[in-house]
């Protein structure tokens, strides 16, 4: 199936201006006349960064190789040439220093957008994130906000190895004070990144590397709502819950299950923390069955947290146990074995088949 399946746009948009630097409401927008273009997720992220730089002089972009090179995945391509080295610039290879600099900038009224080149490369900066970025707002009773966006390419599917294809979203989602977001389409990448940069509080923006080259329509007038999940496919028999790179797998499994006569609903969580219980639980209550899909190892994971929340809030509606389809509890494997570790539609279909269907007793 083409990644074009993932190009559903947000469904509840209204159009109109918003104050600069404010947290956007669902579906707020900037442009009076929407212009929809087909672009890759990488291009959508680049456009979101460029538009933010254009609209607010407080926005700065920095990290390793994000300047003249345009980043390892070319997400910042052309931004230094267009906006100058004062607005988009390279840093030393010192993630903790990058993060500490961003904290100081945010305390002094700037809006830093930093890139951590690969998922595990961000770990040297982790102490800065959990001790200062996540806590300064609370520590100062709101006197010192942290409008920082931490962009982290994550996940597998590119033939990389450990440190380059890890999924560490659970570390950030576990930390109070952080909003953790992962887009699944080019439209979501643009809309969610604009919302993240507009947020007065820190956002960890997890970008699925294997979707950087997926294409879809992007309406740059739309800003998505942070902390809000979305239903991307309606269904009545079972709900598949996923985020980021695994939403595509959920949609592929839903199409395959339809051939067997099963109506499968797909929910894109979008914001991992804080979690949108309202949308997800309403979806599960409507079908009575659920499968959670994620690339990260399953033990003590975002997937296990979602599973627990569904059990706690939907127990009386469930027709079967809530299943998980995740990466295995091993270090990320070499490219040759990567496909065995990542969830695929076949594993999801097996999980669906295990959900106590009455027709199986015929």
Q: Which residues are catalytic?
A: 164
Measured CA to CA, the distance from residue 72 to residue 297 in angstroms comes to 25
Measured CA to CA, the distance from residue 154 to residue 145 in angstroms comes to 26
Does residue 274 have a cis bond before it (omega within 30 degrees)? yes
Task: Report helix, strand or coil for 24.
Answer: coil
Pairing mode, if any, of strands 179-181 and 271-273?
A: antiparallel
DSSP 125: G
Measured CA to CA, the distance from residue 298 to residue 323 in angstroms comes to 11
- What single string gives the DSSP state of each residue in 297-348? ESTTSHHHHHHHHHHHHHGGG-SSPPEEEEE-SSSPPPGGGHHHHS--HHHH
Report which of 127, 157, 272 is spatially closest to residue 204, judged by C-alpha positions.
272
């Amino acid at each position: 199936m083409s990644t074009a399946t993932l190009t559903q746009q947000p469904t509840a948009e209204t159009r109109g201006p918003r104050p600069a630097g404010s947290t956007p409401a669902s579906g707020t927008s900037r442009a009076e006349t929407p212009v929809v273009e087909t672009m890759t997720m990488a291009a959508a992220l680049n456009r979101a960064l460029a538009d933010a730089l254009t609209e607010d002089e407080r926005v700065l972009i920095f990290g390793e190789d994000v300047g003249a090179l345009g980043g390892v995945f070319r997400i910042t391509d052309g931004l230094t040439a267009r906006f100058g080295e004062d607005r988009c610039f390279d840093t030393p290879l010192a993630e903790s220093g990058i993060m500490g600099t961003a904290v100081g900038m945010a305390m002094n009224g700037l809006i830093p957008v930093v890139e951590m080149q690969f998922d595990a490369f961000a770990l040297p900066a982790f102490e800065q994130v959990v001790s200062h970025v996540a806590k300064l707002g609370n520590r100062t009773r709101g006197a010192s906000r942290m409008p920082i966006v931490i962009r982290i390419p994550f996940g597998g599917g590119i033939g990389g190895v450990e440190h380059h294809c890890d999924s560490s979203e659970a570390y950030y989602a576990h930390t109070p004070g952080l909003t953790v977001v992962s887009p699944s389409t080019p439209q979501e990448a643009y809309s969610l990144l604009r919302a993240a940069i507009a947020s007065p509080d820190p956002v960890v923006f997890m970008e699925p590397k294997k979707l950087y080259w997926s294409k879809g329509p992007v309406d740059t007038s739309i800003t998505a709502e942070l902390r809000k999940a979305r239903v991307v496919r309606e269904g009545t028999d079972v709900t598949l819950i996923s985020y980021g790179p695994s939403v595509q797998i959920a949609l592929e499994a839903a199409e395959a299950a339809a051939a067997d006569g099963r109506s499968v609903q797909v929910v894109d969580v979008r914001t991992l923390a804080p979690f949108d219980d309202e949308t997800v639980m309403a979806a599960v209550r409507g079908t009575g069955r659920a499968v959670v899909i994620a690339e990260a190892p399953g033990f003590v994971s975002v997937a296990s947290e979602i599973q627990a929340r569904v059990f706690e809030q939907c127990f009386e509606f469930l027709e079967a146990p809530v299943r998980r389809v995740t990466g295995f509890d091993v270090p990320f494997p070499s490219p040759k074995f990567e496909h065995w570790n990542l969830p695929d539609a076949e594993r999801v279909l097996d999980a669906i088949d295990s959900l106590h269907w009455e027709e199986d007793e015929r």
